Amino acid sequence: MIDSVHISDSTIYGPAWSTPPMRALFAEQNKIKGWLEIMSVLAAVQAEFGLIPVEAARQIEACHAHIEIDEAFLCEASEGFAKTNHSLLGIINALKSRVGSQGGEWLCYGVTVQDITDTQTMRTLVRVRDHFIEQVCAIERILSALAVRHRDTPMCGRTHGQPGLPITFGFKVACWLDEVDRHRRRLVELGPRLCVGQLAGGVGSLSSLGPKALALQQEVLQRLGLESPAISWTSSRDRLAEWLNSLALISATGDRIGQEIVQLQRPEIGELSEGFVPGAVGSITMPQKRNPEISEHLGTLSRVVRHHAAHMAENLVHSHERDGRSWKGEWAIIPDATLAAGKALALLETLLTDLQVHDRRMLANIDASRGLIYSEKVMLALAKKIGKQSAHQKLYEIALRVDRQGLHLRQALHKDQSITGLLPTAEIDALFDLGSCTGHCAEMVERVIASIDLSGQSS
């Protein structure tokens, strides 16, 4: 049994930090298999360009087709790394004994570690991006249905944690949806910048790949499903910084939605709650607890991604044509951040699918404000008579009286002769019509829904 150190590798806790599809993409065996595939394609093209023997290329291709990256291979490669302290030479030597007499001599001819590893990283992230676009689209469909269903469901709009004015729950959801759709568009737009390989040699000059190096580069990367860069990017890591920052934005939205549910699930508010799974336990000491576990974990995952994005921003600063301080850090943070973001998207989809909306409690909380939630509307009506600033001061004084005396705002207005002398009783009562107090929330919900187009989701 292999000891696990990183939480995502834990037999017990790993599923809370990654998803099976993402783990498979970043698993060590699959990563090394991907490196060997790149070496195989490289050798085939180099043979066609007359740089290496055809038989060597054939042996490398055969090795890629049949090799098993098993424990024996990994142990041998590990020993080679410990002996040489070189990132790839231990693996090359382990392959050399398995490739064949000629093939082993021509592995990675004229290329460097970053040519292999950067190209595999980009191939992996292109697949991840496609998967994430599908996940984001699924979340958008859930949010769209939720926004339509609750287009006119009134609730307290809150600022600074306090009730402010009435809104609709559909409006809140449409705000989430609008934000998530921008993330989808960013992922789509990122495609051309992400789908670029690396094949440039030791310092990026392609000096080792012959007079037709640029044509060779294009052919190799095309066969691997990637575009050729205009120039080496061994020291230009902005593509990867953009990827991690995109993940930081996406996961932060998940955190924002989760935090909103954490707050609104509090029993004293009780407007939303996570779907309950029988058997789930909130506390081993307080049996009654039903904690918003998914919502909280979205915050944990988002913090991981955001901190890795900050680390990646540090890696943008390189010395000369290659800098191990910056580049090697990517090996730790890119998989970790991508796994966490993938899990966050999966959890967000589950959270929104099973979300429980307590619309009666939303109405009860509006009523619990004792009419103060309508104070802006009263102030604006009064402003037409005495001016906005004077109306604000008057409503401020009445609101203090409502708090002190435990009154309803409408009751306080009816008792105040300075108000009734300006606003007839019927007009005061009309100001407390909830249906007319949510502004243009419903119209904006419809605008957001109309703007969402998932037909070309991954174009």
Residue numbers annotated as active site: 160, 283
State the angle between helix axes of 71-84 and 28-48 in degrees (0 to 180), rounded to the nearest 10.
Answer: 80
Which element (helix H / strand E) includes 168? strand 162-168
Let me know the angle formed at the C-alpha of 229 by 227 and 233, rounded to the nearest 5 degrees: 130
Do 171 and 451 touch, CB atoms closer than 8 A? no
Closest alpha carbon to 294 in 279, 276, 319: 276
Q: Exposed/middle/buried for 376, CB within 10 Å: 0-12, 13-18, 19+? A: middle
Which structure tokens are listed for 66? Answer: 């049949």
Ramachandran region of residue 270, left (φ > 0), alpha (ψ -120 to 50) or beta?
A: left
Q: Locate all alpha helices (DSSP H) within 315-353, ordered by sequence.
A: 324-327, 329-353
- Dmax of the chain from CA atoms? 103
Q: Which residues, in sequence order, are CB contacts of 453 under 8 Å at separation 6+?
A: none
Do 64 and 36 touch, CB atoms closer than 8 A? yes
Which element (helix H / strand E) includes 136? helix 113-149
Do 188 and 457 touch, CB atoms closer than 8 A? yes
Partner residues linked to 227 by β-bridges: 196
